[in-house]
Structure formats: C-alpha cells, structure tokens
Amino acid sequence: MKSQVVRILEQLNQAGLHADAWLLWRVLDGGFKLVASGGLGEQASHEMVASWAGNEDLLAQAISANEPARATAAVKVENGGQMSLHLVALPIHDSGQPNGVLQCLFRQESQATEVFRRGLNTEEQSQLSACLNQQHNGDSAAPALVDELAEIVSNSSGAPRLTALLNEFCLRYQFDRAVLFEGTGARCQLQGQSGTSRVEQRSVDLRVLKELGSEYNRSQVGSWQLLEAGRAGAKTSVFFTLSEASQAAEPLFLLLQRFGGSEQADFRSAILHDQGAWALAFQAALDGTGSSTGARFPARLLVLCGIVVLLVVPIPLVIQAEGQFWPASRANVYAPEDGVIEADQLLLPTDGVVEAKQPLLTMTSRELELQLSQLDGQLATVSEQIRSLRNTRPERPFVDDPRQTSDRDVSIRLAELTARQEGLQAERELLQDRLASLTVLSPLGGQILTWDPQLKLSGRPVARGQQLLAIGDTAGDWEVLADIAAEDLQLFKQGMEKRHRAVQLKTLGKGPERYRGQLSELADVLHQTEAGRLAARSEFELIDNLEGVTPGQRVTVQVNAGYYPAGYVWFRHAWEAIRLFFTW
C-alpha cells in the first residue's frame, strides 16, 4: 500500500513535473536522508544513488544556493549497457529554512531543462514541506510508539501478540523488517513477521524468506551473520540467534533487515544484552499461538479426526443428472417425400406459434412431377387408342358368330385398353395424393421447438422420413428429459425407491429456481450420449407449476440416494474407477 507521501508526490509529478523518476530527500545534520522514491522502485533507487559519487554534493549545492541545480549520471540497464539520466535538484524550504530536496530524474534533456528553469511553485513547496514535516514527526514519535506496542503486547495473546513483539523489536532497534524462524535446514519454519514491510502469503518474497531461513548456519549461534546486500530485497540482512536447540524445542532466530541506511553497532550491543528476555517473550508468544514445535501434536490429532470423518461420518449422497424442460405434448414433422424446400415455400411464423393443421412448408419433388408427366402421356396414348378402336368398330350389335373374328378381336383389345386406362388413372390419383402431401401441415397447435428452422430448411434437399421440425404445446403440461449416467444408475434406482420416485429439479442460468418432480419413465437399455458416455434416458413429470421456463432450458435433476461415509461421497468416482480396474 502506498504511503501518503508517495501519493502526494505522484500527483505533483503528474500535474507539472513529468519526471521519469524522483527522489525526496530530507536535510539532516551533516547530510541527507532518503524519505521516498518513485519511478524506479525502492531498491533500484538505493543502488543508483550509491553509484553516484557526487550526488550529495549536488543536493548540497541546491540547498546552499537556494535554487535548482542539475547534473548528469550514468545508470546500468538490463542489457548490460549504460544510459544517461539528467538530474535536477529542487530545494524545499519551510519558513525560509532549508527542509529538503526533490530530485527529479529525466531521460530527455529538454524536460530536465524545463523543470530546471521553472523550479517549484509556492503550492508545490508547501505540499512537499508538509510531507517532510509529517515524516519527521513520525520518526520523532518512535519512542512513544514503542511504549504503545509494549502495552499491546501485554494486553494481547496468540498471533497478534507475536506480531506486536516483532513490531516493537523493529521500532526499538530501527529495523525495517523482523522475521522469526524456528528450526534450521529442512525443519525450518517461518513463525511470524513484523507488520512493517510485511510480505503476502504465497508470494515470491515469502518463498525467498523461507529459503534464507533454511540456509541459516546454526554454527554461529549467538553471533550476527551478515548477508550480502540485495538478499530478499534488503540492503542489509542479519541473522541473529535468540535461543539454541534443546530436547524440548528447536532453535529460535531472527532475520533482521534494513532497506536503507547502514547497520548501527550500538543497537547490536543492545540486542545482545536483551537476548535472553526477547527469547523468553517470543517463546511465550509461540506457545500461545500453538505454532511452536511442542504444539504439533494437536495437528496430528486433527489429521486423525479428519480420517475418522472420512470413514465413519455419514453425509447425504445426491445423484445429479443434466436434463432439459420440454412440453409433454409434442410431435415431430417428417419429410413425406424426397425433395427440396425453397426459401419462398417456408411458411413459418416469425414468433414460432402455430395452429393445428396450419401449413408450415411446401416441398418440391422433381421426381414426382416427372412421374406425373410420364403418366399423363401414357393416359393420353391409351385414350387415343381406345377412341380409334371405337371409331373402326361397326355400329351393329355384336353377334357371337365364329365366322366374325374381326369383331371379336376389337372387343378384346378394347377391353384391355380400358383396363389399362383405369389402372393408369388410379396410379395418377395416387401420385396426386403424394403431391398434395408435399404441403406439410402442423400436427398440433403450439410452438416450434426446432432451433432456427429457417436456416435449417431453407434451400436444403431433404430425404423421405427426415425430421424437419418439432412442435410442442407450451400451454399444456411440461416434463423433463434427462440422461442418468450408467455409473449412477444403481444409486439412482435406490434413491427412487426410498423417495417414492420424487426428485428435485434445479434450473440453471439466471435466477435459479427449484421445482418438484416425479419419475414417470426410465429406459431399460442404455444409449450413448453426444459426449460418448453410456446413459439411460429418463422422463419426469412436474408437480409444481412452471413460471418463465422455455423449451430446451437446462435443468439439474437431483435425488438423495441415501447416507454414506463422507469419504465415499467425496471420492466415489475415483473409488469406482479403481474397483472397475481391478474387477474388470
């Protein structure tokens, strides 16, 4: 979290300075102290400042002359090269007295020149001076804060007491962070850290701290073990042992860090003098939190209790299956013949609501039209032959005389052609009925359930018997169709017997609602779902009235199959997979 000083400086920089980075210095007796920085990260700022030999002279020049001073400096970049920075030191005064320096860093010389010429206006001077005074008052209040923290320690217990002790340690001996460890090597555990510069759980910084604790060389018990600069983001890092290992407890040691300044020997001697008292205080705080090595037995007891819960404690086993809402009264529309549905032959309403016997579409069958044309030609030929025979036959009555063979032949031929004509006419009537069936009517009144039928049917060839549409009566009763997974089928049947075929239905999506249902049909055979799993199709009647449900809306079917051990309920699928593997 950013401090108030950093937030104010960032606002000033964005408003008028536009520096690539900045450093805020406070004037001290005989030097300067870095109060805050921005733009390059805190650690990078310290490293850069340490590499600038004349930087303090630049700050002193700005204070003594009471006007901006400028210089250039070289910094290393990630690729190993160097980059020039233009430095502008802007003096800060409080009631005419030098208070500090705002040092701005620019990559562009033109920006540095502009800020060098403008300096700080009155409002900026006032805000920066207030920031420095606030920081100074906070530093001078440190002794009083130590007393307040000591009172917090005496009035608290457990983890808050441990954190308060670490905070008090930092304030007393002017460290930025204190981390308490117990044990060494692989058995090392991070037990607590001070609130100042606290690192978050599961962060890279926390992992680095734990690695540092594991690397600690316990052979240097009672002495300070200095680490190289930069470890765990600190300029100075020190290991200090509070207590040695014993049969009852692991050793306790502290990792003390500073992010600026240098180690002070007088505090080291003071810490060594108070070592025993601090060891007792930290050990008492650890005993209160249950985090010390001697308090690990309850953790084992908790593990044992967890195992007992998994094996013994019964919890409800709920079988779930995904399904959909559909109208109970519904019908499918199939193609009567092979043919094509042209776009202008689709008569589907825009709202999808149809009446019974309402025309839905008209198909075009080139094959039937060709057959009808050929049949009409055959009928015309036969009719012409009959007419010709009738014209050539004499207009006298037929006499059954064997000597008149021509009359007999004509009569036989005429009878044959007449029978042929009647057969062709019957076939033509059948073709006309088939052509009439190309106009498809709605089998019932309701709503079209097929998704985007215009896209599915327009201009598409269809085969005889192919499903074209599905229509359901949404004003009537509803039902749920669901697939019960094969591995859940036995438990599902047990739950149905115990619950008198009653189930719970939970809608998915916006505004989940619960309904009651009852099993009406369960398939005896399994089928393969689109996902490739074996399942049994089931149908459920609805007991409650539906509100706002749409056809095809997803729903979860839930049935309580009984009470089983928690371990079996939570790891049932893994257990069944192992059982099938060994019994297959």
* pLDDT for the residue 481: 94
Q: Output the six-digit token pair for 216.
A: 């600690």
Q: Where in the chain is the domain with CATH 2.40.30.170?
A: 477-583
Q: Is the pTM of this model over 0.75?
A: no
pLDDT values of the chain reduced to their tens digit, one per residue, 584 residues: 455 667 777 888 788 788 888 788 888 766 777 777 777 654 455 556 666 767 788 888 888 888 888 888 777 665 666 778 888 888 888 777 787 888 888 888 888 888 888 888 877 778 788 777 766 554 544 445 555 556 665 666 667 878 888 888 887 777 888 888 887 666 777 888 886 666 776 677 777 777 777 776 655 545 566 665 556 666 667 777 777 766 556 778 888 887 764 444 446 666 776 777 777 777 777 776 555 444 444 567 778 888 887 888 888 999 999 999 999 999 999 999 999 998 888 888 988 899 999 999 999 889 888 988 898 899 899 888 888 888 876 555 555 555 555 667 777 888 888 888 888 888 889 988 888 888 999 999 999 998 888 888 888 899 999 999 999 998 888 999 999 998 899 899 988 888 888 898 888 765 567 888 999 999 989 999 888 889 999 999 988 887 778 888 899 999 998 888 888 888 888 877 787 777 66
Residues 230 and 237: their CA atoms lie apart, in Å, by 8
For residue 48, what pLDDT is reported? 62
As a whole number of angstroms, the distance between CA 470 and CA 442 comes to 10
The answer to whether the beta carbons of residues 310 and 566 sit under 8 Å apart is yes
CA distance 489 to 392: 82
CA 319, distance to chain mean position in Å, is: 26
Residue in 257, 249, 188 with CA at minimum distance from that of residue 227: 257
Task: Enter the tokens of residue 223.
Answer: 């002495």
Helices (H), 255-345: 265-273, 275-289, 297-311
* Pairwise CA distance, residues 182 & 192, whole Å: 10
As annotated, the residues of the chain forming the CATH 3.30.450.40 domain(s) are 4-139, 142-295
Residue found by looking up tokens 């401090």 in the block: 3
- In CATH, the number for domain 4-139 is 3.30.450.40
The side-by-side arrangement of strands in the sheet containing 236-243 is 189-193, 177-182, 252-258, 236-243, 224-227
Residue matched to tokens 């005989």: 30
Q: Which CATH architecture has domain 477-583?
A: Beta Barrel (2.40)
- CA–CA gap between residue 46 and residue 412 (Å, rounded): 125
Q: Which CATH architecture has domain 142-295?
A: 2-Layer Sandwich (3.30)
Quote the CA–CA distance of 494 and 322 in Å, as a whole number. 19
Joined tokens for residue 168: 């008090």
Beta-ladder partners of 224 = 240
Quote the DSSP letter at residue 198: P
Note the pLDDT of residue 294: 45
The enclosing H or E element of 440 equals strand 439-441
- Residue 397: the pLDDT is 54
